[in-house]
Structure 1
Amino acid sequence: MGKLKDRYIRFDWAIKRMLRDKANFAVLEGLLTVLFEDKTQIVEILESEGNQLAETDKFNRVDIKAKNSKGEIILVEVQNTREVYYLERILYGVAKTITEHISLGESYGNIKKVYSISIVYFDLGKGNDYLYHGQNRFIGVHTSDELQISTKQEDAILPKYPREIFPEYYIIRVNEFDKVAKTPLEEWVNYLKTGEIEPDTKTPGLSEAREKLKYYSMTPGERYAYDEHLNAIMIQNDVLSTAKLEGLTEGRAEGRAEGRAEGIAEGRAKGLAEGRAEAILATARNLKSMGFPTEDISRATGLTIEDILNILR
């Protein structure tokens, strides 16, 4: 029998199960080095919500929280399915991390810079790029210059830019990547999307991943759990897509009917608005009938849990 061709484990599974091991830090360090364009060394993995291994959390979101050699904190998150208030949750996660890592009564000078990296596999919105970067810069409204703050450091007054202190955000829109991978960053995003790694890659982290993240190096039990993880992702995405399509179809039909009944611009606008609302309600009903938990329905539709309980009684 011929040798089985290497398959590589998806990154979301790896950060949940493998990349928290110090022996495997080189994989994550490679991604961060390529993304930041600066050599990054991980000192330790910190406690985070993504350490949970509950069945309900196995396919939706996983994360890892690390401290680098500069004492900064890096949040890496993989989100597999759509979440309505995703940006708000990123902001909350960063704010929570900042406050968790400064003790009551400590000087504000001990606040750590936080980097938030989101690897998303759903349609986050409109945009032509697969990688977006955001950070705080204070720009003069009339002069367009960037504000520098004078700060005391080691008994000296030094200038510092707010962007050196405030969090930075990276969003990798995996499904938007459609290039032939030529740069280290493109090789990484291609792996995130396809699970493929070139056999002769010299990209930081990926050469280590080729050795440490082989599918056939896992035990039969680990492979079974991993395959179930992939099935759960595919099933949830399919269910959500179907529910959304059915909800939109039903809502649009009601919206058009309402618009025709009114026969005027006001009626059409009202019909469209009500149609959209009905689309959301129809999606919620479909998800409920398929057995989805109320919390998941809330994330998928943007409705509050209280609204969902009232609607679906």
Structure 2
Amino acid sequence: MDEPQAYLTGRYVPLGQATIAVNDTGFVLGAAVTEQLRTFQGRLFHLEDHLRRLQHSLEITGIQPAETIPQMGEIAEHLVQTNFSLVDPADDLGLSIFVTPGPYATLNEGSGGPVSLGMHTYRLPFGLWADRYHTGQALMVTDILQTPSSCWPPELKCRSRMHYFLADRAAAAADPGARAILCDTSGHVLEATTANLMAYYEKEGFVTPPHDQVLPGISWSSLLQIADSLGLSFHERPLLPADVAAADEVMLSSTPFCLLPVTRWNRAAIGDGQPGPVFRRLIAAWSDLVGVDIMGQARQFARR
């Protein structure tokens, strides 16, 4: 198989040559803004929305790449078109975009350098979640909290995520296979590591944490539209762990897997401990929207 192409600071290069210097600020300080996208049938899903969020992250951080947002869109489309031709037509790709300030002056003889913009694709690792559509995901509240907005705003999508790593490690140690849920300093539930959370109550509909306290997920926005088309209401209010535990269904939304059911919360079952009917309606509607059997595709390519 031919090697996929990548983009790094002004050049298309073979993926194996897309390397970042050890003195890059994105590596030294974790100072990097990022976006993760995926394709359906080889086409990027909500590219414009991801680029809009990336632009906002760049404005927050003051990082100014040479490439404009429209140019980034053209680069992304070119990479996907090139690299999708190397995989099974029924498969799909993820696309990673990252931007760093460039070399860290302390480790670069006192001078900075050009901003680093990188993009690369990868075959979606369906094996990580294919079974979760049927068995559900376990979640655990740990002692690791979400970074407060006094550090950086929640809408900044960046790679400074040591707390994600520590929280997921603590969750898996307490309940093997579990992912972490991050709370704020008041004990209210915010989001999972790399995923938005929503609770469903038969008498109330969906309830999510206030949107201005979490990362505005692109998949979460898609879910709002799909739910509205099915007559399912959405509300926002602060949620305590006990509120989530009492939900009839709980779900996670994120770009790679779209939507996953949560069937265990702090080692206790959600509902009857099985993916619920609302999840099944939503994932079916999402599949219709994108023209791909989302669960079937994950099952087909769980092992390549």
TM-score (norm 2): 0.30
TM-score by length of 1: 0.29
